[in-house]
Structure 1
Amino acid sequence: MSIAAKAAEMRTMQIPLAAHGKTIPAERLGALTPTDPAIGIEAIRRRYQEDGYVWLKGLLPRADVIDFRRWVFTRLAETGLLEPGHDFALGIAAAEVVDWNFANRRLMSIVRSAAYEGFCAQPPLVRFMDAFLEGISYLHKRKLMRYVQPGTPTATPAHYDLVYLRGGTSRLVTAWIPIGDTPAEMGGLVYLEGSHALGRGMEAEFGARSGDLSPEERISAYNRHMAEGGWISKDLPDMAERFDTRWLAADYEAGDVVLHSPYMIHASTTNGDRARRLRLSTDIRYQNVDDEIDVRWSNHWSLGDML
């Protein structure tokens, strides 16, 4: 391990990361391994297969990501979400009451916008995904954007993505993109080390038990053989103990992109940023256009669409 990587791991282990009221102990925390895109597509693909993820440093132009963050928050500012008097690219959360109905409607407008579509389909990312998938990449129409306020209990429970995409190919790749600098304390994604093998085992177990389900139930995350919402667990410390592994966290920067396997177990932690910055990110799915596509993902994301 390099000196820089060791320092990053030591910092990560010293930050109290929590979710759903439980703090992950330092001995169950580790650092995500960064990858320089310049090592080449074959080496990147090998890392992805071995680790279940690849954290690509600076794949996108940093200035473009910051500009898009500013664009998003400028449009959300009318809802009361942002503290006035600051550059909206900073994303400082307002202390006043937010009009959540207005904020949700505006978020749904943003994810349908040409600007967001262009951000998700920008040339550096498309070129990379074409090479990574060894063909023409297909970007699913259903794309998610999330903002998370500091000091709130909001966190995504542990899960793997194929649970929500069983109606198509399993050769999917999720791209998680932090829209702005996202140090670990802001609650970015954490990955259960080595868990792409665990996810495959869980999915195989589900398949073996699903003979009594209808075709619609077999592809749904909301069937009687799945936990509520398709989640594996909200107890991140317990999961690390149960599987004797660690949660891997990172200080993400604007321009980074993380790709992960549809079997890789991941979650988020609460946003504990002392500067009261909103965490903003998007998670989008790619696959080779020649593989079977889950038709349920051919519509825009809507809150409460049960996917």
Structure 2
Amino acid sequence: MSITTGAMTTSHLNKEIKMADGRLQLHQVGLLRPSDPGLPIETLRERFKEDNYLFLKGLLPREHALKACEAYFRFLSPSKVLKPGTSPVDGIFNPNNDLSNFGGLSSRQADMHKLKGKQAALFSDLTVRAHTEKWYTDEFCQHPNVIDFAAKLTEWNDVRQFKRSLFRCNIPNSEPIGVHYDQIFLRQGDTTNITAWCVMGDIKIDGGGLMYLEKNSCIDRQC
């Protein structure tokens, strides 16, 4: 989602969007413009230049994303985060859990110095260790569809991947992350790197996904 423009619609949203910094009214949000990866690359470059993002559907095969999702939640399952009797690929949170035990890396509840007990410490440890698992580092992060597309889009002769990434694993009714920009990845808007946010599986529009500030590259300059 993004800050709204006239061509966008939010008719399918029936409630305010909750953020850590407050709430957004429906008139303040809109939908990202989706782009088909199969469009001419010149068209995609022009859209990237206009919008400062590309919202791509189908770049990653769905079965590959779900495979990573299943591996992730299977890896986290010793923490009892999943609802008993459900499949890891569905990632269904156990509603009987104490939310404070599942801050992870994506919630402001997370505080590495104030973990309540063994369950909270285990979940926190697993969310960190997941970043080094082979199914993630060697398969998902290095998916050729993403790397090849980035090379074609940018026309860079030498495309290299940062060996650093970040999972966002939100749980129901947890406090969402606040407004920010990714200093680690983007620095001061350096045009020699791009960031890819990849969803592992299906997600509702109001289910805790990514929001993007429209025309954010214009904040410090005249556009």
TM range, normalised to the smaller chain? 0.7 to 0.9
SS of the residue 1:159 aligns to: coil
Q: Which moved more, 1:165-174 or 1:71-80?
A: 165-174
**In 1, Cα distance between the equivalents of 2:49 and 2:208?**
25
- Give per-residue Cα distances to partners, 1:125-170, cap 9 Å, x unaligned: 12111112212321111111121110111x2222233576539954
With structure 1 as the length reference, what TM-score do the two structures score? 0.58
Aligned to 2:207: 186
Unpaired stretches in structure 2, ≥5 consecutive residues: 1-6, 102-118
Q: Number of matched residues?
A: 194
SS of the residue 2:84 aligns to: coil
Deviation at 1:19, TM superposition (A): 0.7
In the TM superposition, 1:89-128 aligns within 5 A as 89-94=89-94, 95-97=96-98, 98=101, 99-117=119-137, 118-128=139-149
- Give per-residue Cα distances to partners, 1:47-74, cap 9 Å, x unaligned: 1111111100111100111111011101
The amino acid of 1:16's aligned partner reads E
Larger relative contact order, structure 1 or 2 (CA cutoff 8 Å, min sep 6): 1
Aligned to 2:30: 30
- Give per-residue Cα distances to partners, 1:22-70, cap 9 Å, x unaligned: 2211111111110011112221111111111110011110011111101
**In 1, Cα distance between the equivalents of 2:174 and 2:187?**
32
SS of the residue 2:82 aligns to: coil
Aligned to 1:10: 11
Aligned to 2:76: 76
With structure 2 as the length reference, what TM-score do the two structures score? 0.79
Unpaired stretches in structure 1, ≥5 consecutive residues: 1-5, 203-307
Aligned to 1:148: 170
In the TM superposition, 1:279-298 aligns within 5 A as none
Indicate the RMSD between aligned Cα atoms, in angstroms: 2.3
Structure having the larger proportion of residues in helix = 1
Q: Which moved more, 1:18-27 or 1:48-57?
A: 18-27
Q: Percent identity?
A: 28
**In 2, Cα distance between the equivalents of 1:137 and 1:84?**
43
Aligned to 1:49: 49
- Give per-residue Cα distances to partners, 1:176-205, cap 9 Å, x unaligned: 11111111211211112222211x449xxx
The amino acid of 2:97's aligned partner reads E
Summarize the Cα distance change of 1:177–1:15 in structure 2 as closer, same or farther, 3 Å threshold: farther
Structure having the larger proportion of residues in strand = 1
Summarize the Cα distance change of 1:36–1:9 in structure 2 as closer, same or farther, 3 Å threshold: farther
